[in-house]
Structure 1
Amino acid sequence: MKKITNKILWIFAVGQFGWSLLSGIISSWMVYYYTGENAVFSSYITTNPLFLGLTLFGIITAVGRVFDAVTDPLIAGWSDASNFKGGRRIPFMKAVAVPFAAITVGVFALPQTSNTALNDVILFITLILFYLFMTVYCTPYNALIAELGNTQKNRINVSTYISFTYIAGFSVAYLLPNLAGMFTSMSEANAVRLAIAILAAIAAIAMLVPSFCIKEREYIASVPVKTKAFSSLFKSFKNRQFRRFVYSDIIYFFAVTLFQTGLAFYITRLMHADEENSFVLTVMMTVVSLCLYPAVNKLAPKFGKKKIVVAGFFAYAAVFLITVFCGEGMGWGYLIAVMAGVPMAILGILPQAVVADIAEADAAETGEQRNGMFFAARTFAMKMGQAIALLAFTSITVSQTELSYRITAIVATVCCLIGAVLFLFYNEKQVMDTIVAANKNKESAESETAEENAAQSSAEESGE
């Protein structure tokens, strides 16, 4: 096997930029452009509550999560069990990158017939396909985090690099209104669609970079898993430490998605500023976060990932609490952006490394490399949190009052505090002790094998 270098890890991280850019377009701008005072597509779909106070987006996301409950473990199982010439992960990523980008454009471009009910159906189908393609790309991609992060150093490094590209992707997504504003000769709706198409094309190229530049078989010696998909998923959730992590992770993604979805509204409705400021604030968050990356990398080995992750939850809670009370003027936005950079750095890096630790410890105990399934479960947690957040946000803000937007920030604050408490139950020491013991046994076995080979060679030479 070739040595896994930082160059390979950076090439791998480019793929994260691509899919996070697509995810950012949907989570940050879909609700904004389809509903509310600034909507440009509201005439195409049903915007009023349809059933028990649920909006169209709420119903779509609820159904989508049921769909994900089936597809996530299936894709993970197929990836873990596959034996393609190109590896267990890369072939999936290569096949779906372009369709993933194309369907993102379709979410905004296809539901534009004169029939509102038909548009609702088209939007439903395109969003379901969006989440399916996200699963097909992200599940194998995330499994590579543990496999390329074959040492604690590589694991922290790859988690840091993909955190950077994840934030970069989301930051570029916030450029959408700025980019659309450049096409003054078009209608606002078509300008938005063209801007999305340009960003999606960039995302597709980024997602294909690791697919074509990393030869998986040259770096990873993987053995296909024989356990069936849902049995493998059940085994993953039998892992007590993984369950504790996932509970807090769902809460994390719920709270963060509430904030990301609401950011444009917080700026326009609470701070009474222009939506283009979304990009400015995102850049500020990114810069602060990047400045803190070295500190997170140094503090994690010293204090452990658990303590720092809990601190990240509390930091996010403080950010959301300030949002609850923010008033007119971008001064509030700058304060929020600077403070948000702290938890972004922490929770952008360490949770991925925690999952990789759990997967490695589980492999040491069971003998099965089910990295794909562990990261599929995390992908499902991410989408579950995002879905519930979209459901909650669109339902809470149906009145479009300032108070309704402040309530979303209150909910996010409370959820971050709950997430911190839940993660306190994660036993990091037990997981790391298992990994250390397994590595010692592996080194001992390799040493014995080397000694036996040396003795055999010596005996053969003596016989000659």
Structure 2
Amino acid sequence: MKSIADVPNQKECIKSGLLPNGLLTTKEKWSYGLGDLSSNLVWGFIGSYLLYFYTDVALIPVAATGTLFLVARVLDAFIDPVIGGFVDRTNTKMGRTIPYMRYAIIPLAAVLILTFSYVDTGTAGKLIYAYITYIVVGIVYSVVNVPYGSLMTLMTRNSAEKAKLASLRVAGAAIGSIAITALAMPLVNLLGNGNKRVGFMLTAAVFGVIGIIGFEIVARNCKERYLEMPKVGQTSTQRPKVSFLSTYKSVIKNRAWVTTVIFALLLFIRIGIIVAITIYFAIYVLKSPALISVLLPLLYVGQLISTLFSAQVIGKLGHRKANIIANIGFIVSYLILPFTEHIIPLFIAVYLIGNVIGAISAASVFGMNADAVDYNEWKFGQRSEGTLYAGYSFATKVGMAIGSAVAGYALTWIGYSAAHITPSVVSGLNVLYFAIPLVLTVLMLITTLFYNLDDKHAQIVEDLNARSKEQEK
């Protein structure tokens, strides 16, 4: 494996794609962030609009959608650790992660279109079709996204560079999500010419094609550098294999990783609930359907604004303190919001501020996971970046699934029916929108207290670099 030590000067470093001290080129960093933009054009469309598509376009009973989201997402989420294991054991001339992204993105775009396609087969038939397409799109998404997330840990060990990559991931995700929430319904209406069934299918096709282009750019410009060193006499494609059992025994003992996974799970349950309920909240509580295209994009505008300073905050305070600040800021904003419902400009301002502060966690969680990979190599001699990122991906999927399922069950619990909205339903939506995110944020705050790598990571990287130099001699 080529290392920094093999390159005599910075000019040659840049030419070969390697920079001193784990630094990355600007082109590479921006290309990496483009991957999350592409991912969110796919997954953001699903997360933001699939519940609405099922209940109001495909006309699947609302109670059935709750079970559908939970069962389908949990089932396909279990594929993530399997894919992570395959990534850890992949050795090709193209790399460890690049082949998955390059060749699975096209099937993902195709299945996305099928997921948002209407089939007129009766309630049972529509439900079966929804289960199949929803599970399959989640599996194929994992084949693209688990390798993509694992790629960060292979690009650099430099914590500051990882923080920048994480911020650009969040920025890409935010831009993709803003595009989804602001443009999806106008595109549905435009492309469908008033027919939402056609409009959703064609809009899915547009986002799928853009996703294909984005991941091709990632595959071309991002480079893998930090793989386990082969033993003497082996080539870089003959690295020793490690059993699945051995890998999982080590990662379960990785406290930082376990904490990160739980934190990510709670974070994405919160996001899933907020995204799912916002549509109903805007229509029936704020009595302004137009605010859907304001509040949902602002959720991600907050993330985008946060990227301007989140890397600096995390770099100065560490992940633990940065997340404490983020969670407290979010809690305060959501305690204020119910008192501003009748002053929409003030409501929007408080909502945006809370999301800007809370979004520090979205950037931090990527860095937490990447640092946990370094710890795993330092402590157990295995990077296992695919497996460890799969745990995070699993948490995001299950989190969004639980969030959507809770939203579906909660709508049933308060007696929601699109044909008959009562005052008690409106009151119930109001309570759901604020209470559940607050409870989840308190749990996130508690979880943050168990993260323990901030004071250790610099020494871990120093030790790993020393080991690499020894192996290269």
Is the TM value for this pair above 0.5?
yes
Aligned counterpart in structure 2 of residue 349 of structure 1, from 339, 354, 363:
363
RMSD between aligned residues:
2.5
Q: Tell me which of 417, 430, 443 is aligned to 1:418.
A: 443
Retained in 1: the 8 A contact 2:268–2:399? yes
Task: Assess, with a 3 A threshold, how the Cα gap between structure 1 residues 324 and 129 changes in structure 2: closer, same or farther.
Answer: farther
* Matches of 2:210 and 2:343, distance apart in 1: 33
Comparing 25-34 with 221-230, greater Cα deviation is found at 221-230
Q: Look up the equivalent residue of 1:259 and give its one-letter code.
A: I
Q: 197-206 or 89-98: which moved more?
A: 197-206
1:253 aligned counterpart, secondary structure: helix
- The counterpart of 1:268, out of the listed 257, 275, 283, is 283
Residue deviations 1:284-303 (CA, integer Å, cap 9, x gap): 45455444434322222222
Residue 99 (structure 1) aligns with: 107
Contact 1:21-1:199 within 8 A present in 2 as well? yes
Q: Please, which moves more after superposition, 332-341 or 403-412?
A: 332-341
Q: CA deviation at 1:403?
A: 2.8
1:428 is matched with which residue: 453, 456, 460?
Answer: 453
SS at match of 2:190: coil
Mapped to 1, the partners of 2:392 and 2:409 lie a distance apart of 26
- Given candidates 34, 37, 40, the residue that maps to 2:57 is 40
1:153 has 2:160 as partner: yes
Pair 425,221 (structure 1): closer, same or farther in 2 beyond 3 Å? closer
Confirm whether residue 394 of structure 1 aligns to residue 408 of structure 2.
yes
Kindly tell me the number of residue pairs found equivalent between the two proteins.
432
Alignment check: 8 A CA contact 1:358 1:431 kept: no
Is 1:139 the counterpart of 2:119? The answer is no
Counterparts of residues 202-241 of structure 1 (less than 5 Å):
202-214=210-222, 216=223, 219-222=225-228, 224=239, 226-241=241-256
Choose from 117, 138, 147 the match for 2:124.
117
Contact 2:70 2:401 in 1 (8 A): yes
Could you tell me which runs of 5 or more consecutive residues in structure 2 were left unpaired when the two chains were aligned.
Answer: 3-16, 19-23, 230-238, 417-424
1:364 aligns with 2:369: no
Which amino acid in the other structure matches residue 112 of structure 1? V
Task: Return the alpha-carbon distance in structure 2 between the equivalents of residues 425 and 435 of structure 1.
Answer: 19
Report the identity percentage: 19
Aligned partners of 1:58 and 1:390 also within 8 Å? no
Deviation at 1:240, TM superposition (A): 1.9
Corresponding position: 1:405 with 2:405: no
1:381 and 2:395 equivalent?
yes
Distance 1:141 1:167 in 2: 17
**CA distance in structure 1 between the aligned counterparts of 2:27 and 2:42, rounded to whole angstroms:** 24
| SS at structure 2 position matched to 1:34 | helix
What's the CA shift for 1:20?
1.3
Amino acid at match of 2:378: A
Q: Distance in 2 between matches of 1:182 and 1:85?
A: 44
Change (3 A) 1:428 1:222: closer
Partner of 1:317: 331
Show structure 1 runs of 5+ residues with no match: 50-54, 450-464
Q: Aligned residue for 1:83?
A: 91
Distance change >3 Å, CA 249–CA 291, structure 1 → 2: closer
The question of 1:296 aligning with 2:316 is answered no
CA distance in 1, matches of 2:367, 2:263: 15
Q: CA deviation at 1:72?
A: 1.3
Matched, 1:17 2:37: yes
Contact 1:271 1:327 in 2 (8 A): yes
How far apart are 1:282 and its partner, in Å? 4.5
**CA pair 169-407 structure 1, distance change in 2 beyond 3 A:** same
